[in-house]
Chain A
Amino acid sequence: MNDKIKVTIDGIECWTEEGKYIIDVAKENGIYIPSLCHMEGIKPAGSCRICNVQINGRNMTACSTPAADGMNIESNIPELEEMRKAIVEVMFVAGNHFCPACEKSGNCELQALGYRYQMMVPRFPYEFPEKGVNADSKYIYHDRNRCIICKRCVRSIMKDGKHVFALNGRGGEKLHVEIDTDLASQLTEAEAQEAMDICPVGAILKKERGYYSPIGERKFDKAPIGSEIENK
C-alpha cells in the first residue's frame, strides 16, 4: 500500500495513486464533480472552470490538479455550487442555446447541468451572438453559436497527426473554434461521429443523420448527469 495516497473529498476519505487528477479520483469514489471540458486521458484544459474545488481554501480546478497525499478537498459547498450555476448561466447567454430545436437536446451536457442546477432562467441578459456556421466539410456541420470553447475537439480530434479544430482570435468577442476545412473533409464518417460525441453541446454535428434517438431514449432522459457516478 506504499504507493497509495489518501485525500479527503467533502469529508470522504479516498485512496488513490499519486498523480491522478482530483476529478477522476472523485469519480472512482462515487463523488461527481461537474465539468464541461474534462475528458479522461486527454491533457486537461481547465477552461470551463465549473470543476473548481477548494483545496486549503484556494480555488483549483479538479480536472487539472493532481491529487496529493493529505489533500483536503471541498466540492459540494454552497459557495462553489452557486459559482457553478452562474457559469452554466453565463454559457447559456453567451451562445445561442435553443434547446427545443437542437439536435443534441437530451444528450447535451450543458443542458443537463442546467437541469442539475435547476436553472429556470439565466440571471444574465442574453447576448445572441452571431459567430457563424461552417458546413463546408463532408460530414461535419459546425455551429459556432453553440460552442462553449471547452477545447475538447481542439485537444483530441486529429487527422494524420494534425489538429482538425483550432482556436482562432482572442478576447471576449473574437475568439472562436475554427475547423480546418481541408482536414475535416478527409474525416471518415466514424471520425466525424466521434467529433460529435465528444462535443458537450450541439456545436459539432454529424451531417446526414439527425434526431436519431427519440425523446425518452436520449442519454439524460433516463438519468440526470452525474447520477451514473453518484448512484454507483
Chain B
Amino acid sequence: MKDKVQNIIGEYQNDKNRLMDILIDIQAEFKCIPAEAIETIAGQLIMSKADVRQTLSFYHFFTTEPTGKYTVYLNDSVVAEMMGRNEIAKAFENEIGVKFGSVTDDGLVGLFNTADIGMNDQEPAALINGVPFTNLTISKVKELVAGFKAGREVKDMVGKCGDGMNADERIMSMVNSNCQRKHGSILCLEYEVGSALKRAVNITREAVIETMRSSNLRGRGGAGFPAGLKWEFCRKSGGDINYLVCNADEGEPGTFKDRVLLTEMPEQMFEGMVIAGYAIDADEGVLYLRAEYYYLKAYLEDVLQKMRNDNLLGDKILDVEGFNFDIRIQMGAGAYVCGEESALIESMEGKRGEPRNRPPFPVQSGYHNEPTVVNNVETLSTVVKIILHSADWFKAIGTRESAGTKVLSISGDCKNPGVYEVEYGISVNEMLEMVGATSVQAVQVAGPSGACIGPDKFNQTIAFEDLATGGAMIVIGKDRDLLKEVVLNYISFFIDESCGSCAPCRSLTLILKNKFLKLLNGYGTMKDIDELYSWGKYMKQANRCGLGQTAANPILTTIENFRPLYEALVKTDDEFVSEFNMDKAVEASCKYVDRIPNVH
C-alpha cells in the first residue's frame, strides 16, 4: 500500500496544496483512506497526521473505513423526501438487510445518506459509486440490489440513458436534463463555438472588461456582484499571476441548473472562462466541480481536449502571441460551504473549505495568495453571448437592475420540474403557471439560504432588486407540513454543513433546532416563537460567511410569512412549559413492573 500511496503523492510533486487530489486518488484506489495511507501522507508531506485528518474529515465523501463494494449515497434533502425517498430508503434496507449509515458484513453494500445531489427534478435519486440513479422506484431498487449480488458493473445497471447529451457515449447517464424553456433566451441561443473568443481577442483586455461593465452582468451564483467590476479589481490588483476559477459547486438544495449547463453546453462555459482569462490576464483556469458531478468529469476533460486541438485553449490561443491559458478540473469531495468563493479557494489549496476573513478579497489575494476571479458557471456562460451580441443587446433584456436572463432550477410540487431560462422580472405567479403548479402553499426562493414565501408574495418578481435567487426554486404544495417536512430538514442541513469556524454558526444552530423541536413536539409557548426569532437574528449579525448568516433563514422567513403555523403548535396560554415529559421518562421502567405511568 505504501508504495502506491507514495506514487500518488509523487504524481502531485509532494505538493501539500494538492492534498484534495491526493486524497481523492487514494480513495479511488483503496475505496477509503486507511490509517496507513494517512501515515504515509503525513510522512511524505511533512505534516502531522492530525493535520491530514483535518482536511480529510471535513469532506462528506472522504472516509477512513471501507464503504462497501457498492456504495449507495441516497439524497435526503427536502424534495427527495417529498418524492418518496423514505420508501426507497426502506426498500434498500429491506433488500440488503442493513440500516443506512452502515455496510453489510461481507462488505458488499454500504448505505449512506447525503445532502442534495443536484437531481431535484428527478428524485428520488442516489449516487452509486459516483454514478447517478434517478427516479428511483421500489422495483428499481430490487433490480439494483439483485445487480449488486450478481456482481454487476454499476455502469451496466444504468439502463436507458437520459435526454440530450446524457446519452453521449462520454456520459452515458440516466439523468435527464429537462430543459423546459429556451424561448427568448440568451444561454440557449445557438452559436458557433469559438466565435465569441475570436471577437474578444480582437479587442483589448480593457475593452472586454468595459463591455462586461457596461452590460451590467451580475454574478449568477446568488450574491449578484457585478462581473465586470470583479474582473477589473483583479486586473488592477497587480499580482504576479492571476487565476480564473469557475465555481461549479452548486450545493444549494434545489439547484441543478449548472448540472444542465455543464452537460448540454460545456463549450460555452469553457469559452467564457477563456474570455475571462484573457480579460484578467490569467494563465491558469480551474473548474471546481462538485463531487456529485464526478460522472461528468471524463466528458468535460474531453471537451477541454477538443478545445486545445482547436487552438481555443493552451499556448498561443487563436495564434495570439502571449495568450496562454489552460484549464484544469479540480474535484470537490462533498461540502456545501465550498460554494462560497473563498472556501472554494481554500479547498483548492488542499485545506478544509472554511471561508476566509475578508479583506483581503479573492480579487486581491485568492488562490496561492494571488489575485483570483471566481465566477459561477452561468455567469461565465453568459459572457460568451454578451461578447457576441453586445452589452446593449444584453441590457435590453430583463429589468433595469437585473440585466439578462436567469436559469432557474424548479422542483417540488409541480407538473414540469426542470431547468427554465427566464427573463429577470418574471413574477412568482407567472413562474408557477409556467411549471404547472396549482395548489401551492409556499415557494422556497433561492433554496434554504433564501426565503420561504407564501401566496401573498407571489406577485413579487425574480430580480436582484426584489427576490434574488441563485436559481433554486422549490414549490411546496398545500398538503405538505411546511414546518415538519421542510423547515426541520433545512435546519439539520445547515448544522451538518457548517464548517464550524464561527461560534454562532456552530453552536447556535443546534440551540435553534432544539427550540424548534420543542415547538414541533407540542411543548412550545408563544414566548418560544419570539425567542426563536430573536435568537435567529444573531446568526445574520455575527457570522462571517453567507452560509452562517443565512442558516437561520428557514426559521426566520417562515416565522415572518407563516406565523400561524407556529402559533398552531402552541397548545397553552402558559408562559412556561417544561419540555420534560415525566410520563415518557418513566415509561420504560413502568413497563417492566407492569404499571401505567401516573406520576405527574
Interface residues in chain A, defined as those with a beta carbon under 8 Å from any beta carbon in chain B:
44-50, 52, 59, 61, 64-66, 79, 83, 86-87, 90-91, 93-94, 123-125, 127, 148-149, 151, 161-175, 178-180, 182-183
Contact = CB atoms under 8 A, between A and B. Distances in A.
A47 B502 contact: yes
B53 to A, nearest CB: 6
Given A66-B359, A167-B54, A171-B497, A52 B507 contact: no
A162 B51 contact: yes
A163 B351 CA distance: 14
A166 B500 contact: no
B360 to A, nearest CB: 9
Contacts, number: 142
25 contacts: A47-B502, A47-B503, A49-B503, A49-B544, A52-B541, A52-B542, A65-B359, A90-B504, A90-B507, A90-B511, A91-B503, A93-B511, A94-B510, A123-B531, A127-B514, A149-B506, A151-B501, A161-B46, A166-B48, A167-B57, A170-B335, A170-B497, A180-B49, A180-B50, A182-B49
A170 B497 CA distance: 7
A168 B50 contact: yes
A163 B500 contact: no
B158 interface: no
Contacts of B541: 52, 59, 79, 83
Given A162-B47, A170-B58, A61 B357 contact: yes
A174 B506 CA distance: 10
Nearest to A94: B507
Contacts of A161: 46
B499 interface: yes
B47, B48, B357, most chain A CB atoms within 10 A? B48
Interface of B: 46-51, 53-54, 57-60, 335, 352, 357, 359, 495-511, 514-515, 531, 535, 538, 541-544
A66 B360 CA distance: 9
A49 B49 contact: no
A171 B500 contact: yes
Nearest to B513: A172
B335, B499, B502, B543, most chain A CB atoms within 10 A? B502
Given A49-B543, A124-B511, 12 more contacts: A64-B357, A79-B541, A94-B511, A166-B48, A168-B53, A170-B58, A170-B499, A172-B495, A172-B498, A178-B50, A178-B53, A183-B48
Interface pairs A-B: 5 shortest CB-CB:
A175-B500, A180-B50, A64-B357, A94-B507, A166-B50
B357 A87 contact: no
Nearest to A175: B500
Contacts of A124: 511, 535
A118 B488 CA distance: 34
A162 B49 CA distance: 9
B501 A168 contact: no
A149 B511 contact: no
A170 B57 contact: yes
Contact of A171 (B50, B357, B495): B495
Nearest to A162: B48
A170 B498 contact: yes
A170 B500 contact: yes
Contacts of A93: 507, 511
Contacts of B502: 46-47, 49
A59, A162, A171, most chain B CB atoms within 10 A? A171
Contacts of B58: 167, 169-170
B19 to A, nearest CB: 13
A86 B543 CA distance: 13
Given A93-B511, A94-B507, A94-B510, A163 B48 contact: yes
Contacts of A64: 357
B23 to A, nearest CB: 15
A165 B53 CA distance: 11
Given A49-B503, A171-B498, A171-B500, A127 B53 contact: no
Nearest to A36: B503
B89 to A, nearest CB: 21
A186 to B, nearest CB: 11
A225 to B, nearest CB: 17
